[in-house]
Every structure is written in C-alpha cells, then in structure tokens.
Structure 1
Amino acid sequence: MAALGVALFFAPDIMLHLRADYLTHAGEVATYTLPDGTSLALDAQSAVALHFSPKERRVELLAGRLWVDVQHQDTRPFRVVAADGVTQDVGTAFFVGQDKNRVDIAVTQGRVLVGKQDAAMQTDLQVGQAAHYLRGGAVMRDPAVDPEDIAAWRYGELVIRNQSVADALRLIARYRRGPTWVWANTAGMDRVDAVLRNDHPDDAILSLINGRGLKLTHLPGNGLLITSGSR
C-alpha cells in the first residue's frame, strides 16, 4: 500500500517527463532552438511537447509558461496549444502561460490569433495586447501590458502586477530550489505590484512579506515556511 501511494503521488510528474520534449525544474529558466529555428524560452517548472509535421508546427504547453520568437522562413503554420485553446502565430513573438485551468497570452512583437480548438471565431492580439481563457470558456481580452514586462523572467526579472499575496508567493516559489509552504491567512492583504529578481527568490520573498505581518522560517533541505507573525 505504501509503495502504491508513492507511485500515485509521483505519477503526474512521471507522465509529464514522458510526454515532454523540453522540461525545466524549479529555479531553472532555459532557452532552446526548435528544429525550424524558432527560439523557445521556458520558465521554471514548465514543459512542452513538439508536434512538427509537413503541415504544421505545433507546440503543446503541458505545464508552466513559455515565450517564442517564431522563425518565419518556414511557411508551415506555428501554433501553441494550451488546455482547449490555440494561439496561432501571425509573424510575431509571444507569451503563453498555463496555471491550472487558466491560460494567459500576451504579444511582444507582431500579432497572434487566439481561439478554441475547432472554433471559427478567433481573437486578434497585437503588440502589448493580452487575453486569457479558462478551460471550456471563451477568450477574454485583458488590459494592455508593457511589452517589456511580458515574459520578463527571460532576463531575470519577475514582474508582478495586481496579484494577491498568495499568488505572488506561489509565483516566486517557482524559482526556489527547495519547498515553500505558506501557513498564513493572506486574504485581505494589499495586492502586489512589484518588479523583483527571480534569480534571488529568497530576497524577493523577504521583500514581499516585509510589512505584511508575515514571518519567514528557514527549514532543512532549503525549505521555507511562511506563517503569520506579530505586526
């Protein structure tokens, strides 16, 4: 029974490793050149599978976040599939991120078309424009973003805009090479707007919890425990 429990616990990670052509771990950001010459950047804890055929170039985002600068000398359509939606390149560089059932898209250069698989209607996004969709839901436009902020993790920055403390902590934890636990009620705290360094995640966490009544405890194995503390 114990062995079965361990197997079930690790099964999702094992399946991800088996499916992925490129995969990054906690604290790892990597850039790859795809067979067509496209540049692919993967954020920490991300994975993709490639499906290149004579008719199309398709990248399936299995987990996490990516940014691509598409090679356009190859005339085959270039698409990124995430959840039940597709983002198609129209001469561009763009970001796609998947978190649970939500997928976010933003454009740094050119233009993309975003839509659900097998759906006729598509949303046209250009430089600085963003959108998202939930699994089973329609594509929704988001406020415009600074193209310099899009996928800033590629060059060591972590741009956090109007996020809850819990979400911000979870995002920073991607870059730590050790577990991070939050045992604190962060509901009702001011939302986070910050630009931090993702190559110094512990400093980023300290900066974020400063003044919010949270306490940081270092644990064996490079673990961090964040709890409520006295103000």
Structure 2
Amino acid sequence: MDTTDRQDIDTAAAMWVVREDRGPLTAAEQAERDRWLAASPRHFGAYARAHALLAWSGRMTAPAVKAVCRRPWRLRWPLAAAAAVVLAAGLAAGLMLAWPSGSVHETGRGQILRVALEDGSHMTLDADTRVRVDYRQGRRRLELLSGNALFEVAHDPQRPFTVEAAGIRVTAVGTRFSVSVDRHERAASPVEVLVSEGVVDVAGADRGPAPARLHAGMRAVARPASGVAVSPVEPQELDQRLMWRDGMLAFNGDTLSVAAARFRHYSDTPIIIEDPDVGSRRVVGLYPAHDPVGFARNVALSLGLKVEQRADGIHLSAPAHAAAPPRRDLQ
C-alpha cells in the first residue's frame, strides 16, 4: 500500500468518526460504514486510530468502536474487530507528534506511536521499541536501539537518511522501509530490513558486509560478521509483516514459541509453553496483538492442545491423556 492509499483510508476513517460524533447514524449509514470496515483490516486500524485521537482530545470515550466490535462479524480476517477496541484504548496508537533532534523516542508494551520528524519524514514505532534521532546539517541519522520501526522518508538528496541498528547501516534518500532488531539480544541479533517503496542500501555501520541494494518488495537479513542475505518478498506477505501498525500480528508458518514471544510485547499476560514439542508447532493466521487469550484458545482448538489460564499466564500444553498425539500444524 502506498502513502496515497493510506492517506485515503485515514481520511475515510476520520470522516466516519466525525459523522458519528454529530449523532447516531441512520440504518443506511451504519450498513455503509460496516461494509467499509469489513473490507480490510487496515480500515479497522484507521477507524480505531481516529476514535483514539478523538478520545484523547477529551471529546469522547470511543463507545462507537466498542459497539461495532460487539457485533458478530464474519470477517475474512478472524477476530479483526477486537483490534479496534484495543487500539481505541491505547491512546498512543496513531498519535502524530513533532519531536526535536537529539531525543530518544520509545514505546512501552502494547503501544504503537507515529512520530513526525522535523524534515517531513515519519517513523512508526512498534511496541517495546527505542529510537534515537540525530539530525544535523548535512545528515539525518537515526539509531534503532531495540524493537521494530517503519520509516517514511522525505526526499532530500543533500541529506542522506540513515538508520543504524546492531552494527548495520540502512541508507535511503526517499523511500519507505522497516528495520527490526531483537529487543533483548541486540548484539547477537540479525537486523531485518523490509522495503515497501523506493531503494535502500544495507551495509555494515563501520566495517563488515559490503553494501547490498534493495528495491521495493525486497527483504534483507544482515549481521556485521556474516554479510547481507537478500530475498524477494511477495506483496501480500510484505503487507502482512507490517500489520502490527494496525494492532494485528500475522503468522505464516512461525512456531508457537515465536508467536508467544511476539504477543509478549503487546500484553501483560504471557503465553507459557514448557514443552519444546508444543513450542515447535507452526501456526498461520492473523490475530489481534492484544488478545493472547483468544489466540491461545484458537490454536489449542486447531492443534489439539490444552489451554489453561492461570495466575502467571496462559499455559499451552499437550493433553495429559494423549501419550503420543498426532502432530498437526495450524494451516
């Protein structure tokens, strides 16, 4: 999705929220709004962000989002409605702020923040993410200290835009790309770069791998000691990989252990998997990031697992009565 498409969606969402703020919708208007929301999870994300900003301004408490989400929707993306409630409750979601150079921006668990930079560029921080901004004459330098962020770069060939993370430097002039680094094992973690628009160069920050050029629809996994591995990414997969901006997590053959770790960045309720065999099961699907309980129940039903909610979190395990249950991955 390009910037124009996203702006069109945001504009449509804002128009619906403004209309709702004037008073109750007619039956025809409700039906039209519901069709628009059901068309894409991005519509839901934009709608929730618009309600969150209106609530943040003190004008309302986002009841319309909750009312919509109570309906028994039949969406192509399971449980997409729940994401709207979550995003409306998290007031940082979608909030655009202008920040000075030299500052560190960070999000906590469950927070997503869009930041307007002084040159017209934007960055969107995923949950549990820290970015340092260092703008000076002749350069635009950012450092991803941990987490995952999307960068939308204003064109300025006189001032290259660079993002550094774990010894890797990503350089762009005018483009849109995301950079990810492990939140806990930064030094040993590879850096992942996804390019959705334009061209970027990926190389070692000081020494290490030679530059690799990435075009839109490409992915790089880079380590200072072992080089840059570049591969193509299908448009649908690229779009899914960026769904965290709308409060959704997409899994495409990821293990349960990986999925549980990702949910931990969005919820205080951990998914606990003690059996390595259970943790190695693979899942496919799109889930609200703030609903680990719903995710656990869904995969337990699909994979024949046992789910228990205890004081310390949600436990997923193999049924006790099944000595050797048949292995099934969620498709």
Distance in 2, matches of 1:138 and 1:130, equals 14
Written as runs of structure 1 = structure 2, the 5 A alignment for 1:111-130 is 111-119=199-207, 121-130=210-219
Aligned to 2:257, what secondary structure does the other structure show?
A: helix
Please tell me the root mean square deviation across aligned C-alpha atoms, in Å.
2.5
* Residues 1:224 and 1:32: Cα distance change in structure 2 (over 3 Å): same
Pick aligned residue for 1:202 from 268, 290, 293: 293
Q: Runs of 5+ in structure 1 lacking a partner?
A: 1-18
* Residues 1:213 and 1:134: Cα distance change in structure 2 (over 3 Å): farther
Higher relative contact order (CA 8 A, sep 6+): 1
Aligned to 2:239, what secondary structure does the other structure show?
A: helix
More displaced 10-residue stretch of structure 1: 123-132 or 32-41: 32-41
| Greater helix share, structure number | 2
Written as runs of structure 1 = structure 2, the 5 A alignment for 1:1-231 is 21-73=104-156, 75-99=158-182, 100=185, 101-119=189-207, 121-146=210-235, 147-186=238-277, 189-220=280-311, 223-230=313-320
Question: Alpha-carbon deviation of 1:187?
Answer: 5.9
Distance in 2, matches of 1:219 and 1:20, equals 40
Aligned to 2:227, what secondary structure does the other structure show?
A: coil
Q: Runs of 5+ in structure 2 lacking a partner?
A: 1-101, 323-331
Note if contact 2:217-2:232 (Cα within 8 Å) is conserved in structure 1. Answer: no
What is the match of residue 3 of structure 1?
A: none
* Residues 1:214 and 1:134: Cα distance change in structure 2 (over 3 Å): farther
Aligned amino acid, residue 310 of structure 2: L
**TM-score scaled by length of structure 2:** 0.58
How many residue pairs get aligned? The number is 212
Name which one, 1 or 2, has greater alpha-carbon Rg.
2
How high is the sequence identity, in percent, across the aligned residues? 26
Note if contact 1:173-1:180 (Cα within 8 Å) is conserved in structure 2. Answer: yes
* Residues 1:188 and 1:61: Cα distance change in structure 2 (over 3 Å): closer
Note if contact 2:176-2:197 (Cα within 8 Å) is conserved in structure 1. Answer: yes
Distance in 1, matches of 2:169 and 2:319, equals 44
Distance in 2, matches of 1:144 and 1:168, equals 20
Note if contact 1:84-1:136 (Cα within 8 Å) is conserved in structure 2. Answer: no
Aligned to 1:91, what secondary structure does the other structure show?
A: coil
**TM-score scaled by length of structure 1:** 0.81
| Greater strand share, structure number | 1
